[in-house]
Amino acid sequence: CQFSLFNFGGTKKLDLDSSDTWMAAPITDLEHLKEHRDDMKCQVEALIMRIQAEVCQALEKEELEEGGKKFQIDRWLREQGGGGITCVLQDGTVFEKAGVNVSVVTGILPPNAVQQMRARGKKMKGESLKFFAAGVSSVVHPRNPHVPTVHFNYRYFEVEDEDGEKQWWFGGGTDLTPYYLVEADVIHFHKTLKKACDQHGKQLYPKYKKWCDDYFSVAHRGERRGVGGIFFDDVDEPSQAKCFEFVKTCADSVVSSYVPLVQKHKKDGYSYAERQWQLLRRGRYVEFNLIYDRGTKFGLYTPGARYESILMSLPLIARWEYMHAPEPGSKEAKLTEVLKKPQDWV
Amino acid sequence: CQFSLFNFGGTKKLDLDSSDTWMAAPITDLEHLKEHRDDMKCQVEALIMRIQAEVCQALEKEELEEGGKKFQIDRWLREQGGGGITCVLQDGTVFEKAGVNVSVVTGILPPNAVQQMRARGKKMKGESLKFFAAGVSSVVHPRNPHVPTVHFNYRYFEVEDEDGEKQWWFGGGTDLTPYYLVEADVIHFHKTLKKACDQHGKQLYPKYKKWCDDYFSVAHRGERRGVGGIFFDDVDEPSQAKCFEFVKTCADSVVSSYVPLVQKHKKDGYSYAERQWQLLRRGRYVEFNLIYDRGTKFGLYTPGARYESILMSLPLIARWEYMHAPEPGSKEAKLTEVLKKPQDWV
């Protein structure tokens, strides 16, 4: 199996030991990361650097096998503090647009972010709140309509209020957006995520599976963006170390949940009509991301945001047809039914 | 001039007299509209029915001259009260997607709409507020990148608060989104709008031109959606009759401001690269509409909203390229400069 190169769960190798494979120099100096390896901020940064590298390398392998393109790597710094590394593979053979973004950002929370966090139950005094946010975030839009789109995001947040009171939490998830429903693929995807969750508690997968279905809702259409996966936020129990291990296991399951689906379908034939259907579905993807997605909004409303990194999640091409409805009984209609009524896959 | 068929300003013919040319039966019974011709709600409905018909007929003429398609007409009713008539011409020869929508809707304002209106200074008591909203709204996306996109919307609002206190106001505007800058075209467009405004007060065009530049801002990119036009809201002075006459004059200037640009450029040749640039710009159009546009948000958050009519404003195809920047000195860069710094055109 070609995945044996990577550390899928199990091994206890330090993320820092993979630094020679990272896509670029980390935002925080490598020496600082090594010296403060017990600081959660540094642990998270090393983790997301490794995950970014592993995902990019796994995708690039699939792409280059078909004679395609390599990731473009942009390391950027933010005037207000922090920065990121954005890797994008655009207009390739297998991948029409694939982005894997790491960001490590510090600053003062924008007022609407404070409002949102308080609405979610966070107790934070004052108006000027210092924050640290680090995460890896990715969307992969393949060219072939038989290969699903995947999205994942794993992040860590620290907020310090005016009294110096510190809070931290983790968030994240992985979810799949197929254009055609192949049940075996969806089952493989969910099973892989469940296996990752189960290592940290049997209650986690059902809870985070449902959260995912609820979150990725294109409300005005009464349908989900895709066939779900897992989604969680505000995770701060039972301990920082255990939360980190959970997030690490989830992030480590991305490649094995998704890349086999790319391998299975990347050479499938497809018709013009199937491509048009894919582009229509990508229009719905754009609707979710721009109207509802909290991460996109938080990003775009953050002063000095690097909008190119935030909007890399948008597909290369999307289509909107007035009053499009799939033929009853068609493969397209079969997908739509599942999007309207989420199912249990494992 | 082929526009002499239409009532451009000047004439004082009643909108109701044009009912035989309307695209469908009005939402309110025609007899009721005739009997209550002094009620502003009825006057507005007759106006928007006439404007819809005139715009559709003018566009269809340009389309059919090139052997293209006709408008599809959908009359729909809303369970919660009211309805609309949506006319869409999709995948045509001249027009890739053109929508002209009339809606006449009654109901209870959704909470976030109440919040927004109060934030704009409206004083309304209570939480359960009855509203009436009628408007015509249109977006025209031509196929040829040398023909600009136009958007217009003219609307009338009535809200009744818990004490039975009634408020009314008009809003609207017309704005242009070219893909390539032809100064003479932009000047023609703005001059036509200025002439319409000037009939009702010399102060109106400068005020509403600036409002338009401010409103149609794709904030995260620091650029405007297009080269502007006019935009206004909460217009309730000096009298209801005068406000209506102003809005009528503006709505009557849509065809003469825009259709000559279609005629001038619809047969222009264009390259593959020019088409790609148009699709990229359409991606920015989608960003504005889904992230910032108040009308889209109000629409999508209104229970029972007909999302197909709201989202008809989205282009048939849009494109997002990571880190795209036009060649310095190119025609594409020239447009971008104007979008970053709005200009005076008359």
Residues of chain B with C-beta less than 8 angstroms from the C-beta of A308: 322-323
Amino acid, res. B86: T
Q: What is the CA radius of gyration of chain B?
A: 20
Nearest alpha-carbon partner for A48 in A114, A113, A138, A144: A138
CB pairs under 8 A between A and B: 82
Three-state DSSP class for residue B11: coil
Three-state DSSP class for residue A41: helix
More confident residue, A281 or B7: A281
What pLDDT score was predicted for residue B5? 40
Q: What percent of chain A has pLDDT over 90?
A: 84
Q: How many CB atoms lie within 10 A of CB B19?
A: 17
Nearest alpha-carbon partner for B175 in B345, B3, B4, B2: B345
d(CA B200, CA B222): 33
Residues 6+ apart with CB under 8 A from B171: B153, B154, B155, B157, B232, B233, B234, B235
- Does A316 contact B315 at a Cβ distance shorter than 8 Å? no
B222-232 as b/e, with b when 16 or more CB fall inside 10 Å?
ebbbbbbbbbb
d(CA B120, CA A211): 35
Q: Tell me if chain B has a CB within 8 Å of the CB of A300.
A: yes
In a mutational test of the A interface, the residue from B300, B319, B321, B324 whose CB has the highest number of chain A CBs within 10 Å is B321
The answer to whether the beta carbons of residues B85 and B74 sit under 8 Å apart is yes
307-336 in A: which are within 8 Å (CB) of B?
A: 307-308, 310-312, 314-323
Q: What is the CA radius of gyration of chain A?
A: 20
In a mutational test of the B interface, the residue from A70, A86, A319, A321 whose CB has the highest number of chain B CBs within 10 Å is A321
How big is the CA angle at A227 (ends A269 and A246), to the nearest 5 degrees? 115
Nearest alpha-carbon partner for B199 in B242, B229, B240: B242
The answer to whether the beta carbons of residues B119 and B69 sit under 8 Å apart is no
Q: How many CB atoms lie within 10 A of CB B270?
A: 17
Closest to A220 (Cβ–Cβ): which among B305, B316, B321?
Answer: B305
Q: What pLDDT, in 10s, does the model give residues B227-262?
A: 999 999 999 999 999 999 999 999 999 999 999 999
Strands B130-142 and B223-224: unpaired
Q: Tell me if chain B has a CB within 8 Å of the CB of A15.
A: no
Inform me whether the pLDDT recorded for A6 exceeds 60: no
The answer to whether the beta carbons of residues A259 and A3 sit under 8 Å apart is yes
Does pTM top 0.90 for this prediction?
yes
- Does B220 contact A307 at a Cβ distance shorter than 8 Å? yes
Lowest mean pLDDT among A262-276, B5-19, B298-312: B5-19
Inform me whether the pLDDT recorded for A251 exceeds 70: yes
Inform me whether the pLDDT recorded for A8 exceeds 70: no
Q: How far is CA A332 from the centre of its chain?
A: 25
Q: Is A36 a catalytic residue?
A: no
Q: What pLDDT, in 10s, does the model give residues B71-127?
A: 999 999 998 889 999 999 999 999 999 999 999 999 988 888 888 889 888 888 888
Q: Where are the alpha helices (DSSP H) in A36-164?
A: 40-65, 111-119
Mean pLDDT of chain A: 94
Residue A191 zone, left/alpha/beta (φ > 0; ψ -120 to 50; rest)? alpha
Mean pLDDT of chain B: 94
Say what the ipTM of the complex is: 0.93
User: Which of the following is catalytic: B141, B151, B200, B265?
Assistant: B151
User: How would you write A128-173 as a 3-class SS string?
Assistant: CCEEEEEEEEEEEEECCCCCCEEEEEEEEEEEECCCCCEEEEEEEE
String of DSSP letters for B48-64: HHHHHHHHHHHHHHHHH
Q: What percent of chain B has pLDDT over 90?
A: 84
Closest to A315 (Cβ–Cβ): which among B220, B310, B320?
Answer: B320
Residues of chain A with C-beta less than 8 angstroms from the C-beta of B293: none
How near does any CA of chain B get to the CA of A229, in Å?
25
In angstroms, the Cα distances linking B24 to A98, A118, B14 are 46, 49, 18
d(CA A85, CA B288): 26
Q: Tell me if chain B has a CB within 8 Å of the CB of A222.
A: no
Q: What percent of chain B has pLDDT over 70?
A: 96
Closest to A316 (Cβ–Cβ): which among B220, B305, B321?
Answer: B321
Residues of chain A with C-beta less than 8 angstroms from the C-beta of B219: 300
Closest to B319 (Cβ–Cβ): which among A86, A290, A316?
Answer: A316
Torsion angle (degrees, nearest 10) of CA A324, A328, A329, A330: -20
In angstroms, the Cα distances linking B280 to B94, B184, B276 are 19, 24, 6
What pLDDT score was predicted for residue A305? 82
Amino acid, res. B194: K
Q: What pLDDT, in 10s, does the model give residues A307-334?
A: 999 999 999 999 999 999 999 999 999 9
What pLDDT score was predicted for residue A303? 74
Q: How far is CA B61 from the centre of its chain?
A: 20
In angstroms, the Cα distances linking A165 to A42, A44, A158, B247 are 20, 21, 10, 55
User: What mean pLDDT comes out for the span A85-102?
Assistant: 98
The answer to whether the beta carbons of residues B280 and B177 sit under 8 Å apart is no
- Does B90 contact A322 at a Cβ distance shorter than 8 Å? yes
Residues 6+ apart with CB under 8 A from A214: none
d(CA A299, CA B95): 35
Q: Which runs of E-coded beta strand occur in B205-271?
A: 217-218, 223-224, 228-235
Closest to B322 (Cβ–Cβ): which among A279, A300, A312?
Answer: A312
User: What mean pLDDT comes out for the span B44-69?
Assistant: 98
Inform me whether the pLDDT recorded for B220 exceeds 80: yes
User: What mean pLDDT comes out for the span A74-82?
Assistant: 92
Distance separating the N- and C-terminal Cα atoms of chain A: 24
Total residues belonging to chain B? 346
Three-state DSSP class for residue B319: strand
Q: What pLDDT, in 10s, does the model give residues A211-234?
A: 999 999 999 999 999 999 999 999
